[in-house]
């Protein structure tokens, strides 16, 4: 499913209100996120220098973003020297057109895909379908999402909202329409489900001549791309097809192999709670018998880079650690965010990439309690609460809210005005309703109005001389 699929969805509060009524969804999310959270905490605790690694990751990313123009040109030169072809895409439409033209030039009508957030962001599958090209997802979770005609709801585990019984039903009903059917008598045991997917995908790997991937990292000094994954499907896609097309956001750059060492420690521990990834694939340019194309995707990233506060979102390495600790995500799930980037990182990345013109995108900076758990968990120290507050300040606020904030500013601007307002509130406190009227009702729908004391702290202090009398 593409990012475009989400367009037109209602704002986050409405989506979340519907999602929290789904008790099965909440159970699935709680079980999955708590399991991953526990594994992560265990392997992070093994490293006495985790704080130093985190600081190093932040510094490497910040340095790279400050010098992005120079490193991108260095990367292009290295990839080209190694026999690859580099294409520059300013937006989703241009990236989709480039990939479609490359696939059509091979004469093929299907591609296999490695799990890629960038291609989901630009809606590549749907764009290829319009050109008569079928894209087959090969990551197990992405396969479940595709077969179920569903939306991804987690960066790392896109089908986290599905349990084993639901997955078995999807395989039995839909697998035959995409290739090899599910075995007769398929159970919901993990081993049986994995075997069904393995048999289904193996035929696809052996018969498809074009693959599309993303990349976790790009090394500027050698033009090397790096993919980390857990199932081996990525290795099959990267090596078997005759043509490999990689669509990668321009922020996925690292200057050198020495920098990669830091992230090979940070990413597995923060994402899956493992000490190292089961499969780490690297390739440089074209290899014998395979043509390689790299599509460098901007799609709003340059605009994000120009924002001094918001640019830290471009440090993200898509580990999803912030999702697994977020109390809002745990209850509302990923679909409520209306983006391929759900959770806290999605709440700051999506509005910056897409803008805040729609009601959904304008509501995302408010999809947080600002508890700060996401900042503590982030392996590259993205201060997500800071960016959320920054984006809230840029959002268009309702007229009633703007008038209210202006009135509050006038009162707080002078101590005498504040004291007068407090005394007036104390006198009128018995008339304060339990629920505010009109456009202010939205504030009290989910909150209780605190009791107004008979005397302000300031008056109490003056009357008692700080409690001495």
Rounded (5°) CA angle 259-262-264: 110
Chain-centroid distance of CA 89 in Å reads 21
The confidence band for 180, taking pLDDT boundaries of 50, 70 and 90, is very high
The confidence band for 398, taking pLDDT boundaries of 50, 70 and 90, is confident
The confidence band for 429, taking pLDDT boundaries of 50, 70 and 90, is confident
Chain-centroid distance of CA 237 in Å reads 23
Q: Which of 26-30, 85-89, 282-286 has the lowest mean pLDDT?
A: 26-30
How far apart (Å, rounded) are the C-alpha atoms in residues 72 and 78?
10
- Mean pLDDT, all residues of the chain: 93
What confidence score (pLDDT) does residue 58 get? 98
pLDDT tens by residue, 430-447:
888 888 877 777 778 778
pLDDT tens by residue, 239-272:
999 999 999 999 999 999 999 999 999 999 999 9
Say which residue, 434 or 371, is predicted with more confidence. 371
How far apart (Å, rounded) are the C-alpha atoms in residues 85 and 129?
24
The confidence band for 273, taking pLDDT boundaries of 50, 70 and 90, is very high
User: Average pLDDT, stretch 402-428?
Assistant: 92
User: Average pLDDT, stretch 360-377?
Assistant: 95
pLDDT tens by residue, 136-160:
999 999 999 999 999 889 998 899 8
What confidence score (pLDDT) does residue 7 get? 58
What confidence score (pLDDT) does residue 402 get? 85
pLDDT tens by residue, 95-107:
999 999 999 999 9
How far apart (Å, rounded) are the C-alpha atoms in residues 338 and 24?
20
How far apart (Å, rounded) are the C-alpha atoms in residues 114 and 442?
43
Question: Which DSSP string do the residues of 149-189 spell out, in sequence order?
Answer: T-----SS-TTTT--HHHHHHHHHHHGGGGSSPPPTT--S-
Percent of the chain topping pLDDT 70: 98
Q: Is the pLDDT of residue 469 over 70?
A: yes
Say which residue, 396 or 221, is predicted with more confidence. 221
Entry pTM: 0.87
pLDDT tens by residue, 41-50:
999 999 999 9
User: Average pLDDT, stretch 341-363?
Assistant: 94
Rounded (5°) CA angle 372-374-376: 75
What confidence score (pLDDT) does residue 8 get? 61
Residue length of the chain = 469
pLDDT tens by residue, 278-289:
999 999 999 888
Beta pairing partners, 292:
244
């Amino acid at each position: 499913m593409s990012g475009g699929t989400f367009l037109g969805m209602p704002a986050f509060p409405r989506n979340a209100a519907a999602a929290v009524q789904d008790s099965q969804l909440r159970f699935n999310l709680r079980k999955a996120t708590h399991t991953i959270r526990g594994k992560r905490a265990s392997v992070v605790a093994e490293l006495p220098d985790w704080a130093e690694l985190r600081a190093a990751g932040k510094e490497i990313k910040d340095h790279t973003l400050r010098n992005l123009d120079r490193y991108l040109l260095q990367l292009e030169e290295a990839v080209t020297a190694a026999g690859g072809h580099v294409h520059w895409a300013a937006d989703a439409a241009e990236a989709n057109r480039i990939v479609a033209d490359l696939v059509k030039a091979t004469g093929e009508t299907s591609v296999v895909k490695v799990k890629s957030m960038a291609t989901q962001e630009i809606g590549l599958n749907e764009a290829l379908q319009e050109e008569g090209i079928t894209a087959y997802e090969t990551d197990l979770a992405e396969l479940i999402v595709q077969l179920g005609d569903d939306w991804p709801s987690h960066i790392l585990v896109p089908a986290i909202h599905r349990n084993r019984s639901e997955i078995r039903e999807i395989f039995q009903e839909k697998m035959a329409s995409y290739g090899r059917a599910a075995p007769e008598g398929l159970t919901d045991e993990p081993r049986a489900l994995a075997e069904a997917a393995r048999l289904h995908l193996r035929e696809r790997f052996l018969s498809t001549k074009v693959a599309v991937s993303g990349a976790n990292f790009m090394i500027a000094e050698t033009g090397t791309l790096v993919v980390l994954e857990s199932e081996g499907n990525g290795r099959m896609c990267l090596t078997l097809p005759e043509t490999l097309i990689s669509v990668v956001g321009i922020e996925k750059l690292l200057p050198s192999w020495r920098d990669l060492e830091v992230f090979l420690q940070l990413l597995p521990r923060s994402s899956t709670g493992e000490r190292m990834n089961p499969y780490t694939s690297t390739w440089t340019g074209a290899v014998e018998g395979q043509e390689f194309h790299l599509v460098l995707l901007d799609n709003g990233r340059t605009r994000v880079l120009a924002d001094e506060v918001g640019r830290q979102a471009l440090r993200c390495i898509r580990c999803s650690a912030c999702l697994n600790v977020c109390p809002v995500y745990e209850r509302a799930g990923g679909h409520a965010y209306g983006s391929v980037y759900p959770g806290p990182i999605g709440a700051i990345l999506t509005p910056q990439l897409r803008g805040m013109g729609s009601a959904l995108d304008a509501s995302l900076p408010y999809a947080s309690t600002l508890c700060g758990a996401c900042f503590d968990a982030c392996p590259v120290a993205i201060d997500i609460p800071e960016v959320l507050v920054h984006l809230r300040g840029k959002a268009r606020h309702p007229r009633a809210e703007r008038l209210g904030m202006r009135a509050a500013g006038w009162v707080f601007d002078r101590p005498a005005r504040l004291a007068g307002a407090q005394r007036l509130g104390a006198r009128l406190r018995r008339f304060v309703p339990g629920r505010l009227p009109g456009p202010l009702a939205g504030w009290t729908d989910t909150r209780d109005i605190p009791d107004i004391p008979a005397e302000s702290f300031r008056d109490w202090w003056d009357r008692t001389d700080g409690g001495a009398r």
